[in-house]
Each structure stands twice: as C-alpha cells, then as structure tokens.
Amino acid sequence: MAYIVVATQNEHKVDEYRELLKDQGVELRSLKEYPNFPEVEENGKTFAENAALKAVAASKYCDVPAFADDSGLEVEALDGRPGIYSARYAPTSAERIEKLLGELEGCENRRARFVCVIAIAINGEVIETFEGEVKGVITAIPRGEGGFGYDPVFQPDGYDQTFGEMAPELKNSISHRANAVKKAVEFIEDEMSVLDSDF
Ligand code: ITT
C-alpha cells in the first residue's frame, strides 16, 4: 500500500486526516513515528508557503512522500486576522478564543472563514498545493467541547451548531480541511501514479 506522512505536531489534525483519508487506500503515518523530526520554523508569509515548508522538511527527513497543512481563521472585521498567525495569536486555545471575542466585542460583523492549504511534497519538492475554505460566523460565546482550536466559536453557514458542537463526521464533511483534501484526492487520482510506487 502507498504511504504518506502527515507533517503536523497537532494531534487533532492527525485524527481528522485519518478520518478524511480512511477510504483512500493510503497508509497514513504521523510524526509520532519520527520523534526526532525537528520543529519547522513557519516563517512564510502565506498559508501555502508555510504548508510547503512543513511538507518539504518532512519529505526530506522521513524520505517518503509527505503532506502538511497550514490553516487558520480569517475574520472579516479584523481585516483577515489572525490568519496565518492563528496558532500564535495567544498561548492556549482558551486564551485565543477569549482574545478573539474581546476584539469582536460590540462588533456587528461576525463574518469569518477557516482556510486550509495542503502542500504535498516528494523528495524535498512541492508537487502541488490545495486550498479549502468554509465560511461562517463567530458566535457571541463558545459552544461545544468537540474539535479543537477555534471550533467552539465558529458556526458554519447553513448550520445551527458550532464546529465544537458538531459530530466529528459532520465537521469532517464540510470543513476547510475536508475541502482541501477533496481537491488533493482528485488531483492524485487524476495526475499521479507516483504515490503508488515503492518508496
Ligand atoms: P502544525 O503546524 O504542526 O500542523 P499547528 O496547530 O501549529 O500544527 P497551524 O500552524 O496550521 O497548525 O495553525 C493552525 C491554527 O489555526 C490551529 O492551531 C488552530 O488554532 C487554528 N485552526 C486550524 N484549523 C482549525 C480547525 O479545524 N478548527 C479549529 N481551529 C483551527
């Protein structure tokens, strides 16, 4: 079976990718199998640049095909912040949510989108990048214990629940990550036999 490393230190992302790729006939390896993989400095200016940095580093270090995502929340009233700085906006998820709700206090425009850019790399070269998004609003207060990060304050358009309240299967069918994966899978099915070769 073909295999690929998902280059993330975020266990929640690993869980979501396991679910998203379960029917794809690909064996997903996590960085747990490469405990000495060095931290990658995310000094890119875009989601795509940062995703590429992580995927390239892992494909070199692990010597197998790798992919990574860089993702985040863009809030309209904050001119797209926190964006690529979503993980660095505050030290913990709870503090990030508190800071976000503080910045949006009294603000009528609650529009936001989650963005996910996946980069696939082989032998230290980026093969392609894929962007997915999901649009919605930032709620007044956090709701739900599920998911991770900003999920309790993000309510996708067309739904009454936040990502934090949703069953994981539902989040995984409509999320920014799901939409980026769909594009990546289509690309691999159409263009690439390279992942089937023996690495
Ligand atoms: P890796 O770089 O190791 O993958 P990370 O968590 O630092 O792990 P990012 O740099 O891509 O990943 O930062 C993404 C941040 O954006 C993440 O920490 C969350 O705060 C937020 N985020 C991304 N996707 C999310 C999702 O599906 N639900 C909630 N928050 C999300």
Q: What is the pLDDT of residue 196?
A: 59
Who contacts 94 (Cβ-Cβ below 8 Å, separation ≥6)?
none
Q: For residue 197, report the distance from its CA to the centre of ligand 1, in Å.
A: 31
pTM over 0.85: yes
- Residue ranges and CATH numbers for the domains of the chain are 2-195 (3.90.950.10)
Task: Identify the residue whose C-alpha is closest to ligand 1 atom 4.
Answer: 8
Q: Taking a C-beta distance cutoff of 8 angstroms, is the pair 196, 2 a contact? A: yes
What is the C-alpha to C-alpha distance for residues 52 and 84, in angstroms, rounded to an integer? 13
Q: For residue 149, report the distance from its CA to the centre of ligand 1, in Å.
A: 7
Q: Could you tell me if the CB of 162 is within 6 A of ligand 1?
A: no
Task: Identify the residue whose C-alpha is closest to ligand 1 atom 16.
Answer: 72
Q: What is the pLDDT of residue 198?
A: 53
Q: Could you tell me if the CB of 10 is within 6 A of ligand 1?
A: yes
Q: Taking a C-beta distance cutoff of 8 angstroms, is the pair 126, 55 a contact? A: yes
Who contacts 127 (Cβ-Cβ below 8 Å, separation ≥6)?
120, 121, 192
Whether residue 79 lies in the annotated active site: no
Mean confidence (pLDDT) of the chain: 95
Does residue 167 register a pLDDT over 60? yes
